[in-house]
Structure 1
Amino acid sequence: MSSHLSLARFRPRLIDALAGYDQQRFLKDLGAGATVGIVALPLAMAFAIASGLKPEAGIWTAIIAGFLIAALGGSAVQIGGPAGAFIVIVYGIVERYGVANLLIATACAGVLLFLMGLFRLGTLVRYVPVSIVIGFTNGIATLILISQLKDWLGLTIPKMPADMFSQLHTLAIHLGTFNPYAVGLGVACLAGLFLWPTLLHDTTRFGHAVHLVLRRMAELRAVRAGSRVPGPIVALVSLTLVSWGFSLPVETIGTRFGGIPEGMARFALPEFSWETVKQLVTPTLTIALLGAIESLLCARVADQVSGLPRHDPNQELMAQGVANFVAPLFGGMPATGTIARTVTNVRAGANSPIAGIVHALTLLAVVLIAAPLAQHVPLAVLAGILLFVGWNMGEWREFSPRLLRRASRDYRVLMLGTFFLTVVFDLTVAVQAGIVLACALFVRRMSRLFSVEMVSLEPPVLTFKLHGALFFGAAAKLDPTVQAIERAPRGMTVVLDAMHLVLLDTTGLAGLRQVHKAVLARGGQLRIESLQPQPLETIERSGFADELRSGTPGPEEP
């Protein structure tokens, strides 16, 4: 019998989306893409700075990776680029290995992601338990919140360490160096981001006089149009103007990085060697694993909110792989699907990958035209935007005592264990330990479903009923059956009723062989009746059926 490995077909969703594409759909995509492109600008800079990189690394990642993920991906509306989930990971890699090795690890992760999609492993990511996803997502959100306190408060700290406890210690001993102007900008940014979405919609909370003023403002056409501008853009522009206009003594992109270089990103091959790649196995796997999980989770969210045809997970992983391989060649950082920008894209009217391409081109145009203005952006404002992102990223209600009491013990162990491992150690350790623990808990639950029931002892017949799955985690439950047979009168016929036996693996088969040997040792005969298709096929293929018919024992265990 011949077999072949089935590879995924490389067919971007863009090809199907262009069928019947018309001007009306293009105008919707154009508006949505331009909106998301503007939203992505402050986030891209903030993610890069928080990751220990220059702001242009985030911007060019959003442009290049965002274009490639939209053009080659398997989702109709997903927006790709730098993501908050990567901040802690990238910062740790930069601290330990340096920026040059981060570029190599990202490119290698891109190769892994492409191979995962090519070999149809996209669906396997869906099998990661939701408790693990919530645990590491909340852990990463917590680390983001802690990491942004330095710039949000304007603390004078030359270099922040990578691990959480060292960061907390460093923040505590430098708390007296806070900058009141930076604190004011940071607080104003954060408060504005929380209030902006409902400022002109739910005005009753502000008191009667303020309510009347806001209602009058809401009636103005210009104000109504302005209220649709995304909050991060409003915060970035308004607070930058305040800082620049009053010459506030706060740290900006210009004072720390010298601004953003004008013109196109430069292509440069990193110094590649197999020795370096071997040293970067752990960060490479971390970037690939997180990129795969985040991108496919984001694509699933996009399916739910857009109502468009479901995404192709394998094609999406291949696109993510190409994007993460190419972006480092231009100094970029890891990229993945971004839920906030994707949802913004959908709500703005996107209906095809053209919107994602427009988003990347919009970013490119803004950078080429307005790059010199970025030097005035206060870092406290970018930190406030990231605090807002980190807060919205976490699913904090899952930690409420009420929900935890309702959840199963296994769910609580997995979620809280993954959260604490992410915070205390790192994401790789957390996900690896979480998946191993999830497998162990699953084996234990499945083993509890298997049972052996003795239903009759009427000489010369002894009958047992088998229920559930007889696999390696439950095979030991056959020991009492062997002991019961050894105590039974000689010459008995033992019947195993397998009507409710749904699965049998090789370890379970070895257990049945032990039962058979015990029966033969007592001079009896073993019959297995009412077998389901899978257990029957396993017994026939292994030769155990012939052993039962001939009444001979099977091979000795090694």
Structure 2
Amino acid sequence: MQKPNSDRLIPALFMCFKEGYSLSTLRSDMIAGLTVAIVALPLAMAMAVASGASPDKGLVTSVVAGFFISFLGGSRVQIGGPTGAFVVVIFDVIARYGLDGLIVASVMAGIILIIAGYAHMGKLIKYIPYPVITGFTTGIAVIIASSQVKDFLGMEIDNVPAEFIEKWMAYFTNLNTTSVYAVGLGLLALAIILICKKISAKIPAYLVSIALVSLLSWVMNMPVETIGSRFPDMPTGLPVPTLPALTLEEVRDLIPSAFTIAFLAGIEALLSAVVADSMIGTKHSLNQELVGQGVANIASGFFGGLPATGAIARTATNIKSGGKTPMSGIFHALFLLVFLYTIMDILAYIPMAGLAAVLFMVAWGMSDIKHFLQISRISPSDRTILFMTFGLTVLVDLTVAIGIGVTLASLLFMRHMSKSIEIQPHMRLTQYDADDGDGDDAAASARAVRNEVEVPEGVAAFQINGPLFFGVASELCDRMQNLITIPRILILRMRFMPYLDASGEASIEEILKICHQHHSYIIFAGMRKQPMEMLYRAGLSRDKEVAFTTNFDEALKLATKLMSDPDFVSKHQDTV
């Protein structure tokens, strides 16, 4: 089986057809597609309700977006549809701009994903810190669970506040309106889900739970709110594609939400694809996956659906049910399309308390408590990032949480990196017998025999261990300025400095300036390729008071030779 390169922009479906598609594979994909459709049916509706939309929007999303994610995606077994990751941002967009605003945000997010895929930016998503991902996903899980308390308890609250604290205050204030029937159905639904999962993972626990509590509610004519009573005019079938009517100012205001949707779609899709790879032993094309996700979100938007991405649980179900190619995802969409045209009247009998139970389980699965607690014990910095991202997601805004979380993680990383960088002044410097040139085998140098090397009088040497970037660039200048006497010759040993950025280059220019003022000479020893190219482009190689040697031993020989030259010594006097 050919493993697609992550940089190749070829849909996985085309690769599978090129390899050959048999009748046995078709049969396996059809069975898997039907199984996943049965699992996705209650989940799609529940996600739509949690997002502030009608249940049919979730089914439309699973049909349209699910089709294109499988048709154009880069994973062989990815199943797409609405997921819990979008609940917070969708709810916010619908509350402020209505469904037209959501369509615009979904389309813009799709365009962003397509651009990211063709720009080969898929790998960048992998650099999002894990504490940030865990923090906002756990925060979203808390928000989803909190939003379902009213339906689970059957409370009579006309307008539930959107803010987390105010929402819970409203719940406590209205506890006296709790419905015993709703609580009973919700608890029964939870129990059925847990029992089914314990008996066998192959049982569609959510569907069984919804079917049983709906039947019980209908037979006993319970006074509980259902999908039909809350959404009496729910349409049947796919809607006609529409174009939204928004002002240019509103479109501009939706840009941050679009980027958030694209970010969440990219992260969850690639995480799901990675999980799928580990289960089936293939490698997805991450950039093609972004393109497929982009097209799917644009199509879903035009059909009035919700944002979509790869769903980890549904993808795993697809694999365990025998899905082998993207055709299983396409069949899943087609089966849901059949459901959309045939059983919408039956779905109206589903109690809202039953859907709330499903969403409680979804939230629990999203929360990833094990890793949340694990990260909180690892280090103070990771704990800070985790709790801040989690808290901002729950109490403020998902976009703010992600932005601040990533920024804080970057700053803390640079702080740790700056602490790991060593700028060591030596008058007696440890020298390695191993080659000190432009090689990258640091392990070989570490194993080499070390000898103490005497640095000549009037010469100072600094060894830079680690990348010289803006987080530590100023320290090099500080070390020079703190010297009581500026030496005649300064050796900068850069064998262990793999990277130099513009700030690091500026600090070296500042050192050159200080040395020129004090008539000192600089020797760069063992500089690697990237820093050397930076200095060459900056024009420092043309400085007459600068020399470059391939290793530190040659730098010492050059320094000794220069110090024995009376003309050089008279020109480069030690200066206080």
Question: What TM-score does the superposition give when structure 1 sets the normalisation length?
Answer: 0.89
Q: Distance in 2 between matches of 1:37 and 1:503?
A: 51
Show CA shifts across 1:401-421 (max 9, x none).
x7633x022211111111111
Q: CA-to-partner distance for each residue in 1:52-82, whole Å, 9 max, x for gaps?
A: 1111111111111101111111111111011
C-alpha distance after superposition, 1:431-464 (max 9, x if no partner): 1001111111121122122222122164232222
- Please tell me the residue identity of whatever aligns with 1:395: D
Are the counterparts in 2 of residues 451 and 477 from structure 1 also a CA contact under 8 Å? no
Contact 2:270 2:289 in 1 (8 A): yes
- Aligned AA for 1:256? R
* SS of the residue 2:462 aligns to: strand
Residue 15 of structure 2 is matched in structure 1 by: 16
- In 1, the alpha carbon distance for the partners of 2:93 and 2:367 equals 23
State the match for 1:433 in structure 2: 404
Secondary structure in structure 1 of the residue aligned to 2:466: strand
Residue 522 of structure 1 pairs with residue 522 of structure 2? no
Task: Give the structure 2 partner of residue 224 of structure 1.
Answer: none
Counterpart contact for 2:61–2:306, Cα < 8 Å: yes
Q: 1:261 aligns with which of 219, 235, 253?
A: 235
> How far apart, in 1, do the equivalents of 2:78 and 2:381 lie?
33
Give 1:270's match in structure 2, choosing from 214, 235, 244.
244
Decide which of 267, 285, 298 is 1:312's aligned counterpart.
Answer: 285
Cα deviation, residue 259, structure 1:
5.8
What is the alpha-carbon distance in structure 2 between the residues aligned to residue 37 and residue 59 of structure 1? 10
Q: Which has the higher contact order (CA 8 A, sep 6+)?
A: 1
Alignment of 1:362-401 (within 5 A): 362-400=335-373
| Separation of aligned partners in 2, 1:439 and 1:390 | 28
| Deviations 1:477-498 (CA, angstroms, capped at 9, x unpaired) | 1134323555246xx2222222
- Cα deviation for residue 270 of structure 1 reads 1.5
Q: Which amino acid aligns with 2:178?
A: F
Give distance in 1, aligned partners of 2:246 and 2:122: 28
Preserved contact between residue 93 and residue 102 of structure 1 (Cα < 8 Å):
yes
> Using a 3 Å threshold, how does the CA distance of structure 1 residues 289 and 539 change in structure 2: closer, same or farther?
same
Please give the alpha-carbon distance, in whole angstroms, between the structure 1 residues aligned to 2:99 and 2:214: 29
Distance 1:262 1:506, change over 3 A: closer
Compared with structure 1, are the counterparts of its residues 519 and 485 closer, same or farther at alpha carbon in structure 2 (3 Å cutoff)? farther
Q: Does 1:417 align with 2:388?
A: yes
Give the Cα separation in 1 of the matches to 2:78 and 2:478.
56
Task: Tell whether the 8 Å contact from 1:70 to 1:356 is kept in structure 2 after alignment.
Answer: yes
The 2-side partners of 1:228 and 1:497 are apart by: 63
Q: Which amino acid aligns with 2:326?
A: P
How far residue 272 of structure 1 moved from its aligned partner, in angstroms, is 4.7
Partner of 2:30: 30
Residue 470 (1) aligns with residue 468 (2):
yes
Q: What is the aligned counterpart of 2:479 among 470, 481, 487?
A: 481
Quick check: 378-387 or 265-274, which moved more? 265-274
Partner of 2:277: 303
Which of the numbers 499, 509, 516 marks the counterpart of 2:505?
509
Letter aligned with residue 246 of structure 1: M
Q: Partner residue of 1:338? A: 311
1:64 and 2:64 correspond? yes
- The alignment partner of 1:494 has SS state of strand
**1:323 maps to 2:296:** yes
Question: Do 1:450 and 1:467's aligned partners in 2 also have CA atoms closer than 8 Å?
Answer: yes
* Counterpart-to-counterpart distance in 2, 1:12 and 1:404: 39
- 1:245-273 alpha-carbon deviations (Å, 9 max, x no partner): 11111101111111642343222222254
- Partner residue of 1:292? 266
User: Matched residues, percent identical?
Assistant: 39
| Counterpart amino acid of residue 404 in structure 1 | S
Counterpart code for 1:434: G
Tell me what 2:320 maps to.
Answer: 347
CA distance in 1, matches of 2:42, 2:215: 15
Unaligned runs of 5+ in 1: 1-6, 202-226, 552-558
Aligned partner letter, 2:323: A
SS of aligned partner of 2:260: helix
SS in 2 for 1:500: coil
Cα deviation per residue 1:162-205 (whole Å; 9 max; x = unaligned)? Answer: 22112111211111111111100000111221221223x7xxxx
- Cα distance in 1, alignment partners of residues 78 and 105 from structure 2: 24
- For the residue of structure 1 that corresponds to 2:160, the secondary structure is coil
Q: 5+ residue gaps in structure 2? A: 1-5, 428-454, 548-576
Aligned in 2, Cα 1:382/1:467: closer, same or farther, shift over 3 Å? Answer: same
Aligned mates of 1:81, 1:372 — CA distance in 2: 22
Counterpart code for 2:531: P
> Alignment partner of 1:36: what SS?
helix
Cα deviation, residue 311, structure 1: 1.1
TM-score calculated relative to the size of structure 2: 0.86
Q: In the alignment, what sits opposite 2:151?
A: 151
1:546 alignment counterpart: 542
Shift in Å, 1:373: 0.7
The equivalent of 1:175 in structure 2 is 175
The change in CA–CA distance for 1:323 and 1:470 in structure 2 (over 3 A counts) is: same
Shift of 1:160: 2.1
2:376 maps to: 404
Q: Which of 449-458 and 31-40 deviates more?
A: 449-458
Q: Which amino acid aligns with 1:243?
A: S
Distance 1:253 1:516, change over 3 A: same
Counterpart CA distance in 1 for 2:506 and 2:360 is 56
Decide whether the 8 Å contact of 1:33 with 1:355 is kept in 2: yes
Q: Secondary structure at the match of 2:64?
A: helix
Kept in 2, the 8 Å contact 1:259–1:372? The answer is no
SS in 1 for 2:496: strand
Q: Give yes or no for contact 2:375–2:383 (8 Å, CA) kept in 1.
A: no
Task: Pick closer, same or farther for the CA change 1:392–1:128 going to 2, 3 Å.
Answer: same
Q: Deviations for 1:120-178, whole angstroms, at most 9, x for unmatched residues?
A: 11111111011111111100001111111111111111222222112111211111111
SS in 1 for 2:499: strand
The list of structure 1 runs, each at least 4 consecutive aligned residues, that deviate by more than 4 angstroms after superposition, is 7-10, 548-551
SS of residue paired to 2:494: strand
Cα pair 1:486 1:522 within 8 Å, conserved: no
What does residue 445 of structure 1 align with?
416
Deviations 1:351-396 (A, max 9, x none): 1000000100111112222121111111110110111111111111
Native 8 Å contact 2:522 2:545 kept in 1: no
Q: CA deviation at 1:514?
A: 2.2
| Amino acid paired to 2:469 | F
Kept in 1: contact 2:138–2:368 (CA 8 A): yes
Q: Which amino acid aligns with 2:415?
A: R
What is the count of residue pairs matched by the alignment?
514
Contact 1:63 / 1:360 at 8 angstroms: preserved in 2?
yes
Report which stretch shifted further, 441-450 or 40-49.
441-450
Of 382-391 and 228-237, more deviation after overlay is shown by: 228-237
In structure 2, the partner of 1:106 is: 106
CA gap 1:524/1:86 in 2 versus in 1, 3 angstroms? closer
Secondary structure at 1:502 match in 2: coil
